[in-house]
């Protein structure tokens, strides 16, 4: 560990290289660490995103960190709200630097239709109450195009690529924590989620568009309509409304067929 400091009520632990900031934060959580922590690493050797996908971690070019939070007055159904809070905070931090990002439900940030940041949430529950949440975050700050794997160069980007200048890691992290702390405190202290939803909705890249998602091995298309107070995405398909509680969605491409497959409920999609 290189250094420890505090900012916005978070104790920040900085490492040069770790396997995974999420794994390290989980160790602190399971050891009963009472404080809210931010574990940041210059490089992760085993970082991962959703569905076990590996998250690119280029030393000096990616910002990778995990937040250990203890929102003990919340229950598990509130977790998707936190994904919205973190996504919005990342977007607003980028806006402070002159960028215009968009939010892709449930946990990604995009810039010019390319992914620039992602979030992975893990939690522990006891007696239907959240004991802790770990939010792993990866942001492509200064990644050069040639440092992306070939298959990612057309679908991922960085602030350096889009802005043609390097962004100081500490500056971005400070901007993010300032914004996040404000939203997080409001979330912890009251149940008013409408101001957050208003700001998130303004930046959404999926609402009003045809999206594609998969359930139980079937592929569906539907029109994204709105995001509800618990962070679920409501879509319209064949004049029926369905709620997606979590899961990957993508913007339907122009050449994709719009033929709808038969509906099969699996708990992630409700009417």
Shared-domain flag, residues 136 and 51: yes
252 by Cβ neighbours in 10 Å (0-12 / 13-18 / 19+) ranks as middle
Task: Indicate the number of domains in the chain.
Answer: 2
Shared-domain flag, residues 188 and 234: no
Shared-domain flag, residues 133 and 179: yes
Shared-domain flag, residues 183 and 236: no
Q: pLDDT tier at 271 (50, 70, 90 boundaries)?
A: low
pLDDT at 175 over 80: yes
Distance CA 176, CA 148 (A): 24
Shared-domain flag, residues 239 and 128: no
User: Range of 63's domain?
Assistant: 3-202
Shared-domain flag, residues 242 and 160: no
If you average pLDDT over residues 3-25, what whole number do you get?
88
pLDDT at 76: 87
Shared-domain flag, residues 124 and 230: no
Shared-domain flag, residues 142 and 256: no
Shared-domain flag, residues 246 and 184: no
Residues 50-62 have pLDDT tens digits of 555 566 677 778 9
Contact 108, 117 (CB under 8 A): yes
Least confident range of 2-6, 90-94, 119-123: 2-6
Shared-domain flag, residues 66 and 193: yes
pTM, two decimals, is: 0.89
Shared-domain flag, residues 116 and 238: no
Residues 185-240 have pLDDT tens digits of 999 998 789 999 999 999 999 999 999 998 778 899 999 999 999 999 999 999 89
Q: Order of strands, edge to edge, in the sheet holding 240-244?
A: 249-251, 210-215, 218-227, 233-237, 240-244, 269-270
Shared-domain flag, residues 69 and 148: yes
């Amino acid at each position: 560990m290189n250094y420890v400091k505090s900012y916005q009520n978070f104790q920040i632990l900085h490492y040069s290289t770790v396997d995974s900031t999420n794994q390290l934060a989980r160790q602190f959580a399971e050891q009963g660490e009472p404080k809210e922590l931010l574990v940041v690493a210059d490089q992760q050797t085993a970082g991962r995103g959703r569905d076990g996908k590996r998250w690119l971690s280029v030393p000096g070019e990616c910002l990778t960190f995990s937040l250990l939070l203890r929102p003990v007055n919340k229950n598990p159904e509130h977790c998707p709200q936190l994904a919205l809070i973190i996504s919005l905070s990342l977007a607003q931090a980028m806006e402070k630097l002159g960028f215009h990002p968009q939010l892709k439900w449930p946990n990604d940030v995009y810039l010019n239709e390319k992914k620039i940041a992602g979030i992975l949430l893990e939690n522990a529950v006891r007696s239907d109450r959240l004991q802790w949440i770990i939010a792993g975050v990866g942001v492509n700050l200064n990644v050069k195009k040639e440092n992306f794997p070939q298959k990612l160069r057309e679908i991922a980007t960085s602030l350096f690529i889009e802005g043609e200048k390097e962004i100081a890691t500490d500056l971005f992290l400070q901007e993010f924590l300032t914004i996040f702390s404000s939203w997080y405190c409001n979330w912890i202290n009251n149940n008013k989620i409408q101001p957050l939803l208003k700001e998130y909705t303004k930046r959404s890249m999926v609402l009003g568009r045809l999206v594609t998602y998969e359930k139980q091995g079937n592929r569906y298309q539907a029109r994204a309509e709105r995001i509800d107070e618990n962070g679920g995405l409501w879509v319209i398909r064949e004049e029926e409304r369905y709620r997606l509680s979590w899961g990957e969605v993508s913007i339907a491409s122009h050449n994709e067929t719009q033929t709808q497959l038969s509906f099969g409920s699996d708990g992630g999609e409700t009417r």
